[in-house]
Structure 1
Amino acid sequence: MLLRQPANLYKSIIGARRNLSTGLPSAQSFRKWYQQLWTTERTNLPPYNHFTQIGDPVLRQQAAAVPLELIEGPEIEAIVEQMVKVLRKYNCVGIAAPQIGVSLRIIAMEFKKSLQKEMPEAVYQARQMSELPLTVMINPVLTVTNYSKLKHPEGCMSVRGFSAEVERFEGVKLSGLDKSSKQNDLILSGWNARIAQHEMDHLDGKLYTDQMDRSTFSCTCWEAVNTKSGRVEIPFYK
């Protein structure tokens, strides 16, 4: 009995191989079947309802200018609406079109007055924060008006869960078109100037990690990681 087991096992393997070869008509079919085991068909396309994350090629591209004849069209209107929706959904202060997967030169900024209540007054004042109404800029151009630099901690929804100190110019002028193709010029200082510089970087394929003080780069929830024995999740949805 023990001597006959290898022969039976060999026969079963040969039979399995025959079944595999008859069930897969060609090498191409096998390759397609095999790829389906580890790849997922993309059903979610831009403009996204979430923030793209570092590593996504769209964040490293030079965003294209929006053709003037398309600014008031339904496509650009839909992109801007989605940007504002995501901006407010995640309760942040700035967003660029590449962050929802669209490589176009569009940014939106908003610093609500209510944010002042969510942080210590000393921090609010030290970072020169102030209210900024919702502002959408299409094909924006940034000009430095105050070359003094301020260094403060900065985060990004496309580098979720981390922050670092970054130097930014203290004052800038932002010029561009609004959703109605009207010219809009904005003088910004302090934290709002920082927001503008951060979002403009996104349009040029840059992230704050490119110019941060690397010694200050840190996980924003490192204390919770220790307290909860590592049982901490960083969500990429909301």
Structure 2
Amino acid sequence: MWVTRGGWGPCHPDAMGTPSDRAPLAEQVEELLAGGGPLTIVAAGDPVLRRGTEPYEGQLGPALLARFVEALRITMRAAPGVGLAAPQVGVPLRVAVIEDPAPVPEEVRLARGRVPQPFRVLVNPAYEPVGGARAAFFEGCLSVPGWQAVVARPAEVRLTGQDEHGHALDEVFTGWPARIVQHETDHLDGVLYLDRAESRSLSSNRAVTERWAQPTPEEAALALGFELP
């Protein structure tokens, strides 16, 4: 696919398929949006979270894509969360949204590199590590409610893709924003954070709040018996 300055365009006449090929996905989204308000978030165990997604190539059309993105925004904020991928509402399309007001204490901000992120739309995103540094922190997921686990991820990544208007994205993320874009992009590949987590760190939200609320997970690693990078 190539992207024109004004939006999406196929690399050849068949790249986007026929209207009948695209209709089922558009109809699915229209049906989801008909209910209004926040969408239902799919929980782990639903196959849609494991199948991966198809690249966005104009299947929804600009107006429907804009409505879908707005529904993702509303749903993410209502949850609340700092990111939401299309498969998490049952749509196998390579689209995600992120936003993080980062209302955290200064010591947490410094330890985790958590800084505010404006609302962003990621279309067909992919990431690759920048350098070899890794960071490990407790991480949760709206599709795995009630639980958190420590996940070691690259501390810095280069994200490529497009925005909702078809404009190219090529940006380096560090700290907590890097974690968010990795988490959401993983969803689009059928990967849950649990696949990358330290299994011995798995903790209920209550346990994390009462025992492991420190800026870093060193105490949890010692007490629960897992290694940090």
TM-score (norm 1): 0.69
> Post-superposition shift, 1:122?
1.6
Q: Which has the larger radius of gyration?
A: 1
> Post-superposition shift, 1:141?
1.8
Runs of 4 or more off by more than 4 Å in structure 1?
A: none
2:52 to 52, 62, 71: 62
Mapped pair 1:50 → 2:40: yes
Rounded Cα–Cα distance in structure 2 between residues aligned with 1:205 and 1:175: 18
1:78 to 67, 92, 105: 67
The residue type equivalent to 2:82 in the other structure is V
> Post-superposition shift, 1:95?
0.9
CA contact (8 A) 2:148 2:208 kept: no
Rounded Cα–Cα distance in structure 2 between residues aligned with 1:223 and 1:184: 35
Find the counterpart in structure 1 of residue 171 from structure 2.
186
TM alignment of 1:78-157, pairs within 5 A:
78-112=67-101, 115-116=102-103, 119-157=104-142
CA RMSD of aligned residues (A): 2.0
SS at match of 2:130: strand
The residue type equivalent to 2:47 in the other structure is P
> Post-superposition shift, 1:77?
2.0
CA contact (8 A) 2:85 2:188 kept: yes
Gaps of 5+ in 1: 1-44, 225-238
> Post-superposition shift, 1:212?
0.6
CA contact (8 A) 1:155 1:163 kept: yes
> Post-superposition shift, 1:221?
2.1
Mapped pair 1:210 → 2:162: no
The residue type equivalent to 1:186 in the other structure is E
TM alignment of 1:27-42, pairs within 5 A:
none
The residue type equivalent to 1:206 in the other structure is V
SS at match of 2:123: strand
CA contact (8 A) 1:71 1:179 kept: no
> Post-superposition shift, 1:143?
2.0
The residue type equivalent to 1:56 in the other structure is D
CA contact (8 A) 2:82 2:99 kept: yes
Rounded Cα–Cα distance in structure 2 between residues aligned with 1:120 and 1:130: 11
1:29-76 residue CA offsets vs partner (Å, 9 max, x unmatched): xxxxxxxxxxxxxxxx64671321001111011111011x44652232
- Change in 2 beyond 3 A, CA 1:193/1:223: closer
Rounded Cα–Cα distance in structure 1 between residues aligned with 2:134 and 2:182: 12
Mapped pair 1:199 → 2:176: no
1:183-233 residue CA offsets vs partner (Å, 9 max, x unmatched): 122210011000011111100111011111111101112599xxxxxxxxx
CA contact (8 A) 1:71 1:180 kept: no
For these two proteins, the number of residue pairs brought into alignment is: 176
Rounded Cα–Cα distance in structure 2 between residues aligned with 1:210 and 1:195: 16
SS at match of 2:53: coil
Gaps of 5+ in 2: 1-30, 210-229
